[in-house]
Chains A and B, each alone.
Chain A
C-alpha cells in the first residue's frame, strides 16, 4: 500500500541532505528524468482520498544524499484538478531545497505557465529544457541563456531519454539548493495586478505566521487566486479584518478594472507572460511537419482513426491470445515439473498426506501456481502493452476516438483509459476511475469495468471455449460482453440522475517510448497486482481446499440444481465451480476439471467428455459476466461504498443468469 504523502515527505527530509522536486507538464519526459536519476528503491505516496501519486526516491550526487520528489505531471498548481492539488500540496509540504522544472522545448509557451507559478511561490528553480532534439527537428531553437536570464534560474538543455545533460542538471540543482541565489528578476504582471499584489504584499510582510513560510508576494498571489488554504489561514487569524478587507477590496478593484475574476485574470496574465517569454527566447524556422507528426495525425483523422484503432485492438488481443497462452502453458508445466515437488515435500513430510496438508497445498502449491500462471503471462504482458500505449500517447487518441460512444453512457473519452486497464485486472482499473469527475461517472465506469473480462476471465474464455468450441465462439463471448456493457452504460446514463461532464484532454505528439520507463512502469504495476492479489488468492484457495477436502463442497451443489440444470442447462457440478470461482475467477475452469474427475472418473479431464460445446459457451458466458471476484467487490466497497458495491454485484449476478439462460435458448434454437 502506498504510504501517506505527508509522512513520507517528512521522512525523506529527515533521511537526506538535500531534497529536490521534479515538476512539469504531463508527458514532457519528467518520468524519464526521474528514472535516470534514481534506482529501484522508489516509494509511492499519496494524500488521503487522492489517487494521483507522488514518487519519492533517494539518490547520491557527488558526496551528497539527495531526495527526489517526483510530482504528478500537471499544467498548473492549484485546486482545480487532483493532479494540480497534489503537486501544489507536495511542494508546500515537501519544502524542497530546489525545484527542477522540466520544460518541453517544443511547447515552451504553455509549459512556462507552471514555471511562473513556481517562481510566484518563491521557490528556487532550475530548468531542464527537455527534448531539445525534437524541438530542433521541428525547426525550433531555444536560447537557453536568455531564458535563464529572464527566469533568473539556470537552464540546462537535456534529452532525458538518452540521459543527455542530466549530470549538468543535477550539478546546477545542487548548486541552487545549497547557494540560495539572489532573488530572481521580478516577472511582472500588468500594472493593475502588480498594484494589487504590491498592496497585499506590504501588509503581509508584517505577519510572521505566513502559511508554509511563504514569501509575502507568494501569499498575496495565492490570496488573489482564491487559494482555499491561504484563504482559510486569513479567515482564521486574529485581527484579520484589516487584511480580509484589503483582499476583498483588491479583488473588487481588479474585477472592476479588467472585468474578470482575479483568479482568471492571473491565469490570463501568466499565459500572456509565458507567451512573451517564449517569443523572446525561441527562434523558429518554417519547416514541413515531420513525417512522424504527419503519420501520427492519421491516428485521429476521421477516415483512418477508427480502422487503426480496430487494428491495434486486434493486435492486443492476438498478442494476449498467443503469447499469453503460450507463456501460461509453459509456466504451468515448469511449475508442475520443478516447483510443485519442492513445495509439496515439506508439507507431506511434516503433516503427512492428510486433509490439512492437502488443504494447505491447495493454497501454497496450486494457488500460487495459478496466480503466477495468470499473473505473469496475461497481467504482465497486458501491462507492457498498456505502458506502450500510454507512453507513445496513443491512449489519448483512443480516448479521442471513443469520446462519442462514451458520451452515450454518460462518460467521456478519458474513461476509456481505466476501461482498457480493466482488461488486465479490474481492481487497479476501478481505482483508476478516480480521474473521473463525479461519483455518477465513477459508478457507471466501475460497473462497466466489472463487466470487462479481466486476464483471469480471459484465461477461462480462451482455455475452455476456444479450445472446445472454436475461436469464433470465444470472440462471440467478447462481443456479447461488449454489447452488454454498452447497453448497461446507456441504461445507467438514462436512469441515474445528473449529467456527464465533458472531455478536455491534451493530445500529445508521438513520442518514442523509452525501454527503461516502460519496464519500470510495468514492473511497478505488476508488483502492486501481486501484492494485492496474492493474499486473496492464497486465502481463497485454502478455504476452497478445505471445503473440497472435507467434502462439504458437494452439499452446496444440491440447492443449485434448479438454476444450473433447469435454467442454464449445465451440470450442477459446473454451477458449483461458478460459485466458488468468486474467490478466483480463473479457478473456475481448473476446478471444473478437478471436480468432474471426482464425479465422472479420469476421462473427465477432457471437458468435452461431460459437457457439450454449447454448455461450455453458456458456462464461460456466465463466468465472465457475474460478480468478478472478492478482490473486486472489496475495492468497489472501498471506492464507492458498500451499498453501491452490493448493488453492482447483485446486478451482474442477475444479468449473468438472464444472459446465460437466453444464450442456452438461442443456441438450442438455432444451433443443434
Chain B
C-alpha cells in the first residue's frame, strides 16, 4: 500500500507515531523509521513525514544514527493519549452514565479532541481516578505510572483495606487461578481475619471471601488503601 504522494499527516497520525516511538523506547533503545511505520500501521513515507513534523514541534529528536527518541515534552504527550483515553472512559461511564458497551468508542473520539487544559479539569472533576473502568492504570500527567511502595500481604493486620499491586509468581498457574477468582493487580481487598500462629488470611473482594495461605499471601504485593476504615 504505497501511496505516491502521502497526504500531510493528520494530528491523529502524529499521535499514533508518538505512541509508536513511546512504546518502542519502552522496549529499550530508540526507534527507527521502519519500526515506527510498522507499529503505527502507516507507510514509511507517511512515517517519515510525520517524524519530521514531530521534530519540528520539539517532541522528537534524533538519537543514535538512524533512530529517533522522544524529548521530555514528547514523552509527556505520548503518555497523554492513554491517560486521556482512560479519563474519557471514566467520564462517559461515571458521569454521563453511558452504557459501558459504548464507552470505548466514545472515548476513542474524545481522546484526540481533549486539550491539555480540559484534561486537567476532567481529572479534577473525576477526582483523579487511578484506573479506567476496566481496571487499566491511568498514567500521571508526566507519563509515569506511579509505583507506590509495596509490601507483602502476609504482614497486614486484620481489618486493613489494601490494593493488590503485583503478584510475584514464577509459574503462571497461581497468577491465572487468582485472576479467575478476581484477585488481580489493582483490585481492592479487605483483610477480614488473620489466623494466629502463621495461619492463613481471610480476605474479602466484593461479595466473595477467600482464604489465602501465608505462602500465597507473601507473593501478593500490596499497598495500603488511601481510604481506610470500615
Contact = CB atoms under 8 A, between A and B. Distances in A.
Interface of A: 75-76, 78, 80-81, 84, 106-110, 113, 185-191, 194, 256-258, 260-261, 263-264, 267-269, 271-273, 275-277, 280, 297, 300-302, 305, 396, 399-401, 403-404, 407, 412-413, 500-507, 509
Contact of A404 (B27, B136, B176, B197): B197
A507 B202 contact: yes
Contacts of B17: none
B197 to A, nearest CB: 6
Contacts of A399: 211
Given A400-B202, A504-B210, A301 B193 contact: yes
A81 B200 CA distance: 21
Given A190-B136, A400-B200, A110 B208 contact: yes
A504 B216 contact: yes
Nearest to B26: A256
A404 B134 contact: no
A503 B213 contact: yes
A75 B207 CA distance: 14
Interface string B191-230: 0111111111010011111111111100100000000000
Nearest to B101: A188
A275 B182 CA distance: 10
A506 B202 CA distance: 9
Given A272-B135, A403-B195, 7 more contacts: A109-B206, A263-B176, A264-B175, A300-B195, A404-B199, A407-B215, A506-B211
Contacts of A81: 177
Contacts of A194: 104
Contact of B198 (A113, A404, A501): A404
Contacts of B181: 75, 110, 504, 506
A302 B211 contact: no
Contacts of A297: 192-193
A264 B176 contact: yes
25 contacts: A78-B180, A80-B177, A84-B180, A109-B206, A113-B180, A256-B26, A264-B179, A264-B184, A267-B176, A268-B184, A269-B135, A277-B100, A280-B100, A297-B192, A301-B193, A302-B195, A400-B211, A403-B199, A404-B197, A404-B199, A407-B214, A413-B213, A500-B215, A502-B219, A505-B211
Category for how many chain B residues contact A: 35 or more
Identify which of A78, A185, A261, A505 gathers the most chain B CB atoms within 10 Å of its CB. A505
B44 interface: no
B125 interface: no
A109 B210 contact: no
Contacts of A190: 104, 132, 134, 136
B93 interface: yes
A106 B207 contact: yes
B199 A187 contact: no
A75 B179 CA distance: 10
Interface in B90-117: 93, 100-101, 104-105, 107-108
A275 B197 contact: no
- Majority secondary structure of chain B interface residues (helix, strand, loop or mixed): mixed
A271 B101 contact: no
Interface of B: 23, 26-27, 85, 93, 100-101, 104-105, 107-108, 132-136, 172-182, 184-185, 187, 192-200, 202, 205-216, 219
Contacts of A75: 180-181
Contacts of B173: 80
Contacts of A404: 195, 197-200
Contacts of A264: 175-176, 179, 184
Contacts of B210: 504-507
Nearest to B108: A191
A233 to B, nearest CB: 21
A171 B23 CA distance: 53
Contacts of A412: 213
A502 B179 CA distance: 15
Identify which of B132, B194, B197, B211 gathers the most chain A CB atoms within 10 Å of its CB. B211
Contacts of B205: 110
A356 to B, nearest CB: 58
B136 to A, nearest CB: 6
Nearest to A149: B99
Contacts of B100: 188, 273, 276-277, 280
Given A302-B196, A396-B211, A187 B216 contact: no
B208 A185 contact: no
B102 to A, nearest CB: 8
Nearest to A225: B176
Nearest to A277: B100
A502 B212 contact: yes
A189 B134 CA distance: 8
Contacts of A84: 180
Contacts of B213: 403, 407, 412-413, 502-504
